[in-house]
A = this chain, B = another copy of it.
């Protein structure tokens, strides 16, 4: 197996001003291509540190992808550090300079003299063009390692990696990628998933967990030589154990009969739910109290939501619940705003008024204040009005205000999704 490292340069990373998301992104890509990423290192804008680090990595790794330090200012030191570390003096790359001048010309500006620096590449290195920004990258051999240096701007770095670096690596290293299948779940924690799955010890596949907002993902990374039949067998076994918590499976090349009961089109929880809604020709309206517009915001994050998301009402006050949803004063007086009766009236009220297939009503106590012994912070009443009946759930959600609101949104969308697929 080929080992790889990642090196991030920049004071903003080591001082904590920036979270290094580039490193995680590159790791995912390299792991997907079949490399074993063994180390990430970040250093600040200090030449001596960088030179030392380049030499260390050159002595121990086969591949290193570096980000940052390619800008035009004095604290952009990557090329200079490479020059010193591996005796590769900087040389003007005429094509790089011509590209830079042209980029400025196209923007109607003259290139500042300071940017000429960005066309000075270490001797014997291969230029990696940057159609997404100004600074070109470069690749070279140093010690026993193949280094690829890219800019730190995520959009530029990602574009260059996907379109230019990945093909460069494929030419250079005989590494075959395995297959990756992801089971995306919602509403179940990582430890419960582990319990559902039980011991998992297969020689040809690695199982890992990843949490993404309200979702928990099960990632199955199969060795390159594993065939379709074996992949299907493992996924079927896992999916049957996790069952209803799986809302989509990503990365399958073919779908067996046993897997056909699952959605296999992929996407986030709200995207999958939206697709079920749209495919069925249904429409939705929402009436939110404790989630304050988050369910509407989640729905309208999906492009084309205007086809099915017709109306959202954020009724934070009791007066708005009465005026906008037809919630009755009797219900509010007898049960309080945070109650099953009011949640049902909200769901039914918004569905009727908006004329939609479904209506969601949600009311609860997100905190930090407002909790009582009978209705502590985290108490949420959720209702879904359908053409046939209104379903209700009482949720007791943990965490702070932000977490309670986020979990409440996920619960509402999941109740809708389950209703759509049942």
- Tell me the A residues contacting B by CB distance below 8 Å: 8, 11-21, 23-31, 37-44, 46, 49, 208-210, 219, 286, 288, 291-297, 299-301, 303-306, 309-317, 319-320, 323-324, 353-354, 367-369, 401-402, 405
Pair A41/B41 contact, Cβ less than 8 Å? yes
Chain B residue contacts of A41, Cβ below 8 A? 39-42
Q: Indicate whether A20 sits within 8 Å of B17 (C-beta atoms), given known contacts A292-B297, A293-B295, A316-B309.
A: no
- Among B14, B17, B304, the residue within 8 A (CB) of A38 is B14
Pair B292/A300 contact, Cβ less than 8 Å? yes
Docked CA distance A313–B310 (Å): 11
Pair A37/B16 contact, Cβ less than 8 Å? yes
* CB closest residue in chain B, given A49: B38
Most buried by B among A18, A44, A293, A313: A293
Docked CA distance A397–B14 (Å): 32
Docked CA distance A124–B244 (Å): 50
Docked CA distance A39–B309 (Å): 48
In whole Å, how far is A158's beta carbon from the nearest beta carbon of chain B?
13
Q: Indicate whether A19 sits within 8 Å of B19 (C-beta atoms), given known contacts A304-B369, A313-B314, A320-B311.
A: yes
Known pairs A11-B208, A301-B401 / 13 extra A-B pairs, C-beta < 8 Å: A8-B40, A15-B28, A16-B37, A17-B28, A18-B24, A18-B210, A19-B20, A19-B24, A39-B42, A41-B42, A300-B314, A311-B315, A312-B316
Tell me if A's interface is mostly helix, strand, loop or mixed. Answer: mixed
- Among B14, B305, B405, the residue within 8 A (CB) of A39 is B14
* CB closest residue in chain B, given A355: B319
- Among B14, B24, B301, the residue within 8 A (CB) of A292 is B301
* CB closest residue in chain B, given A337: B306
Instruction: Report how many copies the assembly holds.
Output: 2
* CB closest residue in chain B, given A314: B312
Q: Indicate whether A293 sits within 8 Å of B311 (C-beta atoms), given known contacts A37-B15, A219-B17.
A: no
Q: Indicate whether A293 sits within 8 Å of B297 (C-beta atoms), given known contacts A15-B37, A312-B313.
A: yes
Chain B residue contacts of A294, Cβ below 8 A? 293, 297, 300
Pair A310/B306 contact, Cβ less than 8 Å? no
In whole Å, how far is A374's beta carbon from the nearest beta carbon of chain B?
19
Docked CA distance A27–B12 (Å): 10
Docked CA distance A401–B39 (Å): 35
Q: List 30 A-B contacts (CB under 8 A).
A: A12-B210, A14-B27, A14-B37, A14-B40, A15-B27, A15-B208, A16-B25, A16-B28, A16-B30, A17-B28, A17-B208, A18-B210, A20-B24, A23-B42, A38-B49, A39-B42, A288-B293, A291-B300, A292-B297, A292-B300, A292-B301, A292-B305, A293-B294, A300-B314, A303-B368, A303-B401, A311-B314, A313-B314, A320-B354, A323-B353
Pair A38/B44 contact, Cβ less than 8 Å? yes
In whole Å, how far is A375's beta carbon from the nearest beta carbon of chain B?
15
Q: Indicate whether A19 sits within 8 Å of B21 (C-beta atoms), given known contacts A297-B292, A401-B303.
A: yes
Most buried by B among A40, A41, A319, A353: A40
Docked CA distance A26–B405 (Å): 27
Chain B residue contacts of A288, Cβ below 8 A? 293, 296
